[in-house]
């Protein structure tokens, strides 16, 4: 018996020695999750800042945030219901965004911009979305996609021509998606054929945000289909160019005040000088701006959820049932506390991604995490708020149902939730 037990023990010991490393239960992992790595920040002591919380803002950021809060309450809030019902952005709102410098937040003053930080863009989008996510989207796309494309890849001549316009009164629109290329964006069919010193563009785009009011379009078209996505080139096309047609806007579930239209190109003649960056590099440019744009959408979803929450909680404290406020029931308190915690987590994810991007550190995984999670939190928050409000939450007399409709797009545009999860997983595979 003893001999048999000894033989079994020796076999187990041998098996342990041959066990793959990843199965060793308490073995310290040689890999370190990148987000857990600390990094020294230079000049902290001399700047007098030590481990500042993510919700610590500069004086400029605080002033801008407060200004936008006031603007949203006074200039946007009175028009939200009307704009939603009519599916139309009021001209006074668009004009106000330009007048306040909110359409050119990062642009330098030499172009008529505000010259503020990328984080300021995120704060502005969040504050606007608390009141109307459709207005926030207009501001977000102009700053994170349109202006970013011009400043990052534009020639000096293109910058001098277009940046003062997009800072003053011109809305830009980004044309990538097509009927057959949604998440598989680079399978697009729009062609650009070279003819001497210009190109002829033919094709159609779908789901193009802001197309109704746009004065300039960034159009992704393939100059050499034999190269696949490496033939995709970005063209700057003015609205009044012959052959460019903006179709009837979509009748959408949410963010109805923000237009979404098909755009077609029929023998649109574009000079070679209107190529943004290099021929065949359009796919890289699209990926680059969409990565930062996802942080902007995260801010939109965060603001939307917070705005809905802020409208709802006071009601639960005023509404009395069974002799006490609805808020005072423990079952309600636990639900509210859970949502509040998730809102705070969503905010920290978003702010962290924004600060990483602003300081030039890697942020792609964090941007996808922020967008994915804020969209999920917005969905949960708005659904719960309708339940907490009861019957009135289900009516259009209160803005809660609008937040509920508006949030759904967060899981779809600028990369679906599944695309975000794939991006996160790809990053994790590289880290481990």
Residue 377: strand, helix, or coil? helix
Residue 353's closest CA among 404, 308, 420, 412? 420
Please classify residue 94 by burial: count the beta carbons closer than 10 Å to its beta carbon, then call 0-12 exposed, 13-18 middle and 19+ buried. middle
Tokens read off for 72: 């949203």
Neighbours of 308 (CB within 10 A): 31
Place of tokens 């702010």: 351
Instruction: Please indicate whether residue 61 is annotated as part of the active site.
Output: no
What is the spatial distance between Cα 410 and Cα 420, in angstroms, rounded to a whole number?
11
Contact at 8 Å (CB) between 123 and 296? no
Please classify residue 8 by burial: count the beta carbons closer than 10 Å to its beta carbon, then call 0-12 exposed, 13-18 middle and 19+ buried. exposed
Tokens read off for 422: 């794939």
What is the spatial distance between Cα 340 and Cα 112, in angstroms, rounded to a whole number?
39
Catalytic residue among 376, 401, 414, 431: 414
Q: Quick one: CA torsion of 44, 46, 49, 51, rounded to 10 degrees? A: 30
What is the spatial distance between Cα 222 and Cα 205, in angstroms, rounded to a whole number?
13
| Per-residue DSSP letter, 249 | P
The long-range contacts involving 191-194, CB below 8 angstroms and separated by at least 24 positions, are 191/221, 191/222, 191/223, 191/225, 192/221, 192/222, 192/223, 192/233, 192/235, 192/270, 193/223, 194/223, 194/272
Catalytic residues: 414
């Amino acid at each position: 018996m003893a001999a048999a037990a000894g033989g079994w023990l020796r076999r187990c010991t041998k098996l342990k020695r041959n066990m793959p490393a990843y199965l060793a239960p308490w073995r310290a992992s040689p890999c370190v999750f990148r987000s857990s790595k600390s990094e020294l920040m230079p000049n902290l002591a001399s700047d007098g800042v030590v481990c500042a919380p993510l919700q610590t803002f500069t004086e400029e950021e605080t002033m801008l945030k407060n200004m936008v809060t006031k603007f949203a309450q006074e200039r946007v809030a009175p028009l939200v219901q009307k704009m939603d019902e009519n599916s139309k952005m009021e001209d006074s709102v668009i004009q106000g965004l330009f007048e306040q410098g909110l359409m050119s937040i990062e642009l330098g003053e030499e172009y008529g911009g505000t010259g503020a930080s990328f984080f300021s863009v995120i704060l502005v989008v969040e504050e606007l979305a608390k009141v109307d996510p459709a207005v926030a989207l207009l501001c977000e796309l102009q700053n994170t996609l349109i202006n970013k494309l011009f400043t990052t890849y534009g020639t000096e001549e293109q910058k001098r021509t277009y940046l003062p316009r997009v800072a003053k009164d011109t809305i830009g629109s980004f044309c990538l998606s097509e009927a057959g290329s949604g998440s598989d964006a680079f399978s697009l069919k729009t062609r650009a054929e070279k003819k001497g010193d210009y190109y002829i563009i033919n094709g159609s785009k779908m789901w193009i945000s802001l197309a109704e009011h746009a004065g300039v379009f960034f159009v992704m078209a393939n100059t050499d289909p034999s190269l696949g996505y490496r033939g995709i080139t970005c063209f700057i096309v003015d609205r009044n160019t012959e052959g460019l047609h903006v179709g009837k806007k979509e009748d959408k579930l949410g963010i109805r005040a923000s237009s979404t239209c098909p755009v077609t190109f029929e023998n649109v003649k574009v000079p070679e000088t209107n190529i943004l960056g290099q021929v065949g590099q359009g796919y890289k440019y699209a990926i680059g701006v969409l990565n930062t744009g996802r942080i902007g959408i995260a801010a939109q979803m965060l603001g939307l959820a917070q705005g809905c929450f802020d409208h709802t909680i006071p009601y639960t404290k005023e509404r009395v049932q069974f002799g006490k406020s609805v808020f005072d029931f423990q079952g309600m308190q636990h639900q509210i506390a859970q949502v509040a915690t998730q809102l705070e987590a969503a905010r920290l994810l978003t702010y962290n991604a924004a600060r990483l991007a602003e300081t030039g550190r890697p942020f792609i995984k964090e941007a996808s995490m922020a967008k994915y999670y804020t969209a999920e939190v917005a969905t949960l928050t708005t659904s719960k708020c309708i339940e907490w409000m009861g019957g009135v939450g289900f009516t259009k007399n209160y803005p809660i149902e609008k937040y509920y409709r508006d949030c759904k797009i967060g899981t779809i545009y600028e990369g679906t939730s599944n695309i975000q999860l794939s991006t996160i997983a790809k990053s994790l595979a590289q880290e481990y």
